[in-house]
Amino acid sequence: MSFLSKREQLIIISLVILVLAISLFNFIKKEVFSKDKDEGHHIEDVIDETDDEIETNQPEEIVVHISGQVNNPGIVKLEPGARVIDAVNAAGGLKNEADLDKINLAKKLQDEEKIYIPKI
């Protein structure tokens, strides 16, 4: 009678454990989702609630630091959703030596951001 080697036994045991783990994970996953359905929670509701929180938590203004080839470098205050061009304009515009190929004037800004306008 032929028996399996130790290595073959370990492989078989590992595969059985893997199958059991995957089955248990799928069972638990189905239980969690079925409880959510019973409680009336839908992913759309969660997304809507998150969007509302994000909208209400937006600051009334953003503050950015702009330096480099602008006429008045320093701290500027802008409206939420402002772009780099708005910060440049708030800083008195660009100097003649400003390298526009290395910056994205259309990029949306975030609070506490640093903008550097390089020289050609």
Q: How many CB atoms lie within 10 A of CB 105?
A: 13
Report how far residue 60's alpha carbon sits from residue 79's, in angstroms, rounded to the nearest whole number: 7
Residues 62-87 pLDDT 10s: 999 999 999 999 999 999 999 999 99
* Alpha-carbon separation of residue 56 from 53, 111, 114, 120 (angstroms): 5, 15, 24, 41
pTM of the predicted model, to two decimals?
0.52
Lowest mean pLDDT among 48-52, 96-100, 110-114: 48-52
Helix (H/G/I), strand (E/B), else coil: 28: helix
Q: Band the pLDDT of 41: cuts 50, 70, 90.
A: low
Residues 5-39 pLDDT 10s: 889 999 999 999 999 999 988 888 777 666 555 55
